[in-house]
């Protein structure tokens, strides 16, 4: 059984805590590592497969062949699996599925983003303590591994203590506390005093989190732990900057860290998009403006792992390793159909697709953004005109609502169309569905779509995030 006392821990980060990052963190000195949050519905559609060529265990979504979770024996004894769930039975089913490949199970109760809270998961569980407790109790009762949860604090520390104590009463082994409220951004100072007060009132270990802005060196980690009176420390953004923050002997230059990281990406056939994301984050945090510009140009255009490896003198290494894998019959498993959208949550899109499974719908990942369209080019206007010109009945819009989001299915000429991006406004949901139909019928030139940027695949993560607000 793992212990949560005096531990240095890699925090769960969507896209930021995949296998190569976890292994590197462990090799540099982390004691425990979390997976990124993995959503119950998505993982439950996956089957466990032993991959003898890579030496990994892969969870593969049977429907689409995507690898939802990859792990390996090197991390097994130190790996905490974090799930996103709002359902006690699904939580147990998922824990049972992965329990032989991990050392502990954690429930995410801190994620404030709509893609989590809209489905009752993440920080929403803090407002639904009964359900949160049912999930934890069910896990403790049925799973022979330590169970934990990761929470955020409330404005009032008394409320935080009360909730943490209620969670403690379920029999969990530890609790990670991110010292910010659901509304607070990471730019706001972390509330170390609140973490301290929670730690003082609990018997189980408290893992302090949220201190990356104060943590520049290894020694700062211990200071943060002391300031919070906590048993252990969990780090997220500090790791994105430089994973070697876990080294007792001090930081390694990020050039060297990147090389170590890249080798692991090659060894474990990490996806190109994820590799670029992790390295990009590290570079953006560590280089000056001029370097950053140069880096972006050369790096973001890279279309293969070999091209990236060339920058760090690992081209031959990549070719050799991947050549040997291919000779043994290894087939690269795509990680996600939505390379750029992964951190908005592939799992949510999987869930949405699943909702439409009984209907014959053509999907796209599109979102209507009003400012890109003039009156005559509004998607609804275009599809209406198209129907008229072809003497067909006009499209029929059926708008549905789930949690506070609208999504429209449009039926035209015997075919249904919908987007996997939902909207807070009904009229935008309709325009979005019409946009998908325009796209499938070729009513917009591909070139036009790219230029106006309404095809989300063509936008950068930051732009997507901006539009998703």
Ligand X SMILES: Cc1cc2nc3c(=O)[nH]c(=O)nc-3n(C[C@H](O)[C@H](O)[C@H](O)COP(=O)(O)O)c2cc1C
464 binds ligand X (CB under 6 A): no
Contact between 276 and ligand X (CB under 6 A)? no
Measured at the CA of 68, the angle between CA 239 and CA 400, to 5 degrees, comes to: 105
Of these, 8, 57, 86, 111, which contacts ligand X (CB under 6 A)? 111
Q: Which of 9, 10, 11, 309 binds ligand X (CB under 6 A)?
A: 11
Residue 307 CB, shortest distance to ligand X, in Å, is 24
Q: Residue 11 or 32: which CB sits closer to ligand X?
A: 11
Give phi and psi for 16, each to the nearest 5. Answer: -95, -10
Report residue 417: phi and psi, to 5°.
-135, 145
Measured over the CA atoms of residue 417, residue 421, residue 422 and residue 423, the dihedral's sign is negative
- Of 101 and 342, which CB lies nearer to ligand X in the complex structure? 342
Q: Which residue has the tokens 């939902």?
A: 422
Residue 455 forms beta bridges with which residues? 366
Asked if 236 interacts with ligand X (CB under 6 A), we say: yes
- Taking Cα atoms as reference points, which of 32, 64, 30 lies closest to residue 46? 64
238 in contact with ligand X (CB under 6 A):
yes
From candidates 61, 85, 87, 108, binder to ligand X by CB under 6 A: 108
Which residue from 30, 457, 410 is spatially nearest to 234, judged by alpha carbons? 30
Q: State the catalytic residue, choosing from 67, 72, 111, 149.
A: 111
Q: Which is nearer to ligand X, 210 or 379 (CB)?
A: 210
Under rule CB under 6 A, residue 379 binds ligand X: no
Does residue 13 interact with ligand X by CB under 6 A? yes
Q: Which two tokens stand for residue 144?
A: 């022979």
Segment near ligand X (CB under 6 A), from 6-14, 154-162, 260-268, 347-355?
A: 6-14
Burial class of 390 by CB neighbour count within 10 A (0 to 12, 13 to 18, 19+): exposed
The footprint of ligand X on residues 18-37 (CB under 6 A) is 36-37
DSSP 216: S
Euclidean distance between CA atoms 301 and 295, whole angstroms: 10
Query: In the bound complex, what is the minimum distance in angstroms from residue 158's beta carbon to ligand X?
Result: 22
- Does residue 282 interact with ligand X by CB under 6 A? no
Q: Are 231 and 207 in contact (CB under 8 A)?
A: yes
180 to 219: interface string for ligand X, x by CB under 6 A: ------x----------------------xxxx-------
The single-letter DSSP state of residue 327 is: H
The nearest distance, CB 16 to ligand X, in angstroms, is: 5
**CA proximity to 427, closest of 465, 388, 389, 373:** 373
Q: Which of 88, 110, 114, 146 binds ligand X (CB under 6 A)?
A: 110
- 58 vs 106 by CB, closer to ligand X: 106
Shorter beta-carbon distance to ligand X: residue 107 or 418: 107
Pairwise CA distance, residues 25 & 88, whole Å: 31
Q: Would you say 147 or 437 has its CB closer to ligand X? A: 147
Distance CA 178, CA 156 (A): 14
Nearest CA to 134 out of 181, 177, 190, 85 is that of 85
Shortest Å distance, C-beta 405 to ligand X: 21
Q: From the list 4, 8, 10, 12, which residue makes contact with ligand X (rule: CB under 6 A)?
A: 12
14 binds ligand X (CB under 6 A): yes
Rounded Cα distance, 205 and 222, in Å = 16
Annotated catalytic, 228?
no
Encoded one letter per residue, x for contact with ligand X by CB under 6 A and - for no contact, window 142-171 reads: --------x---------------------
Distance CA 159, CA 152 (A): 11
CB burial of residue 122 (10 Å; 0-12, 13-18, 19+):
buried
How many chain residues interact with ligand X (CB under 6 A)? 22
Q: Residue 355 corresponds to which tokens in the numbers above?
A: 């909702």
- Using rule CB under 6 A, residue 88 touches ligand X: no
Query: Active-site residue numbers?
Result: 111
Residues near ligand X (CB under 6 A) are 11-14, 16, 36-37, 82, 108, 110-111, 150, 178, 186, 209-212, 235-238
């Amino acid at each position: 059984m793992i212990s949560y006392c005096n531990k240095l821990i890699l925090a769960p980060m969507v896209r930021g805590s995949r296998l190569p990052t976890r292994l590197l963190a462990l090799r540099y000195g982390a004691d425990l590592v979390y997976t990124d949050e993995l959503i119950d519905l998505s993982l439950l559609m996956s089957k466990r497969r032993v991959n003898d060529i890579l030496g990994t265990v892969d969870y593969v979504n049977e429907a689409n062949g995507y690898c939802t979770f990859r792990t390996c024996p090197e991390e097994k004894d130190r790996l905490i699996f974090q799930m996103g769930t709002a359902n006690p039975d699904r939580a147990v089913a998922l824990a049972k599925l992965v329990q032989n490949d991990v050392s502990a199970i954690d429930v995410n109760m801190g994620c404030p983003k709509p893609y989590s809270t809209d489905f009752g998961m993440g920080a929403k569980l803090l407002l639904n303590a009964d359900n949160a407790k049912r999930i934890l109790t069910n896990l403790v009762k049925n799973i022979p591994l330590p169970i934990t949860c990761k929470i955020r604090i409330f404005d009032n520390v008394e409320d935080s203590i009360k909730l943490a104590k209620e969670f403690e009463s379920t029999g969990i082994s530890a609790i990670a506390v991110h010292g910010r409220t659901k509304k607070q951004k990471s730019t706001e100072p972390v509330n170390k005093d609140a973490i301290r007060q929670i730690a003082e009132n609990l018997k189980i270990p408290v893992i302090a989190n949220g201190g990356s802005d104060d943590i520049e060196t290894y020694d700062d980690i211990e200071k943060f732990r002391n300031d919070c009176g906590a048993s252990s420390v969990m780090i997220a953004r500090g790791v994105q900057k430089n994973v070697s923050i876990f080294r007792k002997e001090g930081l390694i230059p990020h050039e060297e860290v990147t090389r170590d990281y890249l080798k692991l990406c090659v060894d474990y056939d990490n996806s190109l998009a994820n590799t670029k994301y992790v390295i990009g984050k590290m570079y953006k945090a560590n280089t000056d403006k001029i370097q950053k510009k140069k880096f972006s140009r050369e790096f973001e255009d890279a279309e293969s792992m070999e091209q990236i490896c060339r920058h760090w003198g690992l081209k031959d290494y990549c070719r050799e390793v991947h050549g040997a894998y291919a000779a043994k019959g290894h087939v690269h498993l795509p990680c996600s159909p939505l390379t750029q959208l992964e951190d908005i949550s592939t799992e949510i899109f999987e869930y949405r697709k699943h909702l439409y499974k009984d209907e014959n719908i053509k999907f796209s990942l599109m979102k209507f953004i009003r400012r890109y369209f003039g009156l005559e080019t509004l998607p609804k206007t275009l599809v209406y005109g198209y129907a008229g010109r072809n003497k067909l009945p006009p499209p029929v819009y059926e708008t549905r609502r789930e949690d506070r989001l609208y999504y429209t299915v449009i039926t035209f000429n015997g075919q249904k169309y919908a987007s996997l991006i939902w909207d807070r406004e009904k009229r935008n949901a309709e325009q979005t569905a019409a946009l998908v139909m325009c796209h499938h019928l070729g009513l917009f030139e591909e070139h036009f779509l790219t230029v106006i940027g309404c095809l989300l695949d063509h936008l950068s993560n930051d732009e997507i995030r901006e539009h998703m607000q």
